[in-house]
Amino acid sequence: MSGALKKFGDRIINDPKQVAKLFKEATPGSRLLPSRNPKNGAEYQCRIDVGEEIKDKPDYYNVYLQVNSQ
């Protein structure tokens, strides 16, 4: 699993479009990155989803890093 996470981080950091997605507004419960499609699922092996808003911190949200497969 750690190999998948390192590969995921390297792909995100080296792609300016993916880095920009980290700072855009997103809906709770949606995928932040990468875009949802079978190709990205296979290539990235991980994803970042937007969670619920943090209590007492408006406009701050939890994010969830999930491994798609191992």
Across the chain, what does the average pLDDT equal?
88
- Tally the domains of the chain: 1
Q: Which residue has the higher pLDDT, 42 or 70?
A: 42
For 19-47, the pLDDT digits (tens) are 999 888 889 999 999 988 888 888 888 99
Q: What is the pTM of this model?
A: 0.79
Domain that holds residue 21: 2-67
pLDDT at 26: 87
d(CA 43, CA 57): 34
CA distances from 4 to 24, 35, 53 (A): 24, 17, 27
pLDDT at 25: 86
pLDDT at 28: 92
Give the number of residues written for the chain.
70
